[in-house]
């Protein structure tokens, strides 16, 4: 059991539900907070209370979060699309629907399980369930992902990522139309104080910056290129939602409606990591990889497009100059 976390209830917190307060101040989801309360891990002035209890100013809420039990991550025979592999690293083209690493609710079937299943040596990181990962992609986001096989490669690539020397570009379809062809959103992101399973624009959150370039304008949506300067959880999705143009198909951040009108399948949002450029940690060679739109997103794009020349392209991103060096 970890050390108790004590939360003094301020005037501003008075009247808030206990589970909401615990989630907001203990960096857990509201469901996890309710579980902690139900199992006796939370007290208010040394008394057990219900999740719906309204806290009072001056009280002290004590939270005990059980220490995480280490789990062995087992290899599984799951097909992967490997774009590049050498002694230092891999570039994987992840399919939508695959979780990147094991976590509560997804202990199996992840990218890390698949990598271990093929016998890939992975760099040791802070935990076995994230071995080798340099960065991550959301479950329903497809595209290119960088994985380190040696600890040195991981260290060098992680430093390059932190210093913004790895160029990552995504293609997104967003509802509505940007006011201009170019938009930069520079707004901090943190856990949503009302729902710990989501992210939000939060004062005091972590710095987050995304550049957007409109590639095409359709009747109800824009096709955008997103260039990440930082790598916060759900960054592109949160930034687009914050300016009123959520990613098409994004149920979490307000873009999930009318997916049939754009030919998008259930539980799929239109966001794809289509390009990554970096310096190889061993050879110092400049490496550049592309991932064309997967079939379901290509179908969606052709559904909304009005330009027959665009519809006819095998790789619409090439036609729209997505891979250009500008911006």
The catalytic residue positions are: 138
Task: Provide the edge-to-edge strand list for the sheet that holds 60-63.
Answer: 5-8, 60-63, 42-44
Specify the DSSP class assigned to residue 259.
Answer: G
Q: Whose structure tokens read 């619409």? A: 316
**C-alpha 233, offset from chain centre:** 4
Nearest to 321 by CA among 214, 217, 228: 214
Nearest to 304 by CA among 269, 262, 264: 262
Query: What 3-state class would DSSP assign to 172?
Result: strand
Q: Whose structure tokens read 């990598």? A: 115
Strands 209-217 and 182-186: antiparallel
Q: Which helix (H) or strand (E) holds 84?
A: strand 81-85
Specify the DSSP class assigned to residue 8.
Answer: E
> DSSP E strands: which ranges in 176-304?
182-186, 189-192, 195-201, 209-217, 221-228, 271-279, 286-290
Q: Which helix (H) or strand (E) holds 317?
A: helix 316-319
The CA distance from 193 to 200, in Å, is: 8
The CA distance from 17 to 158, in Å, is: 39
**C-alpha 47, offset from chain centre:** 38
Task: Supply the angle between the helices 30-38 and 18-26 in degrees, to the nearest 10.
Answer: 120
């Amino acid at each position: 059991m970890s050390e108790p976390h004590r939360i003094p209830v301020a005037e501003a917190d008075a009247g808030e539900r206990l589970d909401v307060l615990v989630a907001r101040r203990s960096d857990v989801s509201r469901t996890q907070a309710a579980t902690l309360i139900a199992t006796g891990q939370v007290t208010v002035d040394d008394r057990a209370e219900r999740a719906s209890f309204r806290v009072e100013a001056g009280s002290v809420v004590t939270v005990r979060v059980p220490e995480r039990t280490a789990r062995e991550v087992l290899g599984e025979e799951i097909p992967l699309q490997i774009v590049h592999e050498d002694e230092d690293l891999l570039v994987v083209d992840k399919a939508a629907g695959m979780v990147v690493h094991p976590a509560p609710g997804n202990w199996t079937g992840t990218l890390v399980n698949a990598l271990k299943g093929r016998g890939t040596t992975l760099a040791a990181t802070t935990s076995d369930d994230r071995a080798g990962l340099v960065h991550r992609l959301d479950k329903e986001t497809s595209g290119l992902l960088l994985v380190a096989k040696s600890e040195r490669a991981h260290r060098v690539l992680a430093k390059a990522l932190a210093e913004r020397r790895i160029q990552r570009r995504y293609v997104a379809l967003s509802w509505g139309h940007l006011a201009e062809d170019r938009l930069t959103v520079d707004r901090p992101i943190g856990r949503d104080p009302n729902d710990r399973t989501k992210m939000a624009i939060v004062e005091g959150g972590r710095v987050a910056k995304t550049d957007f370039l409109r590639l095409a304008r359709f009747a109800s949506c824009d096709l955008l290129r997103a260039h990440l300067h930082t790598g916060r959880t759900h960054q592109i999705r949160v930034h687009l939602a914050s300016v009123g143009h959520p990613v098409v198909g994004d149920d979490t951040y307000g873009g999930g409606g009318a997916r049939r009108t754009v030919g998008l399948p259930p539980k799929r949002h239109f966001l794809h990591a289509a390009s990554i450029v970096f310096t190889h940690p061993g050879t110092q060679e400049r490496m550049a990889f592309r991932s064309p739109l997967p079939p379901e997103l290509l179908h969606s794009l052709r559904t909304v497009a009005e330009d027959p020349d665009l519809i006819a392209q095998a790789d619409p991103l090439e036609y729209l100059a997505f891979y250009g060096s500008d911006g």
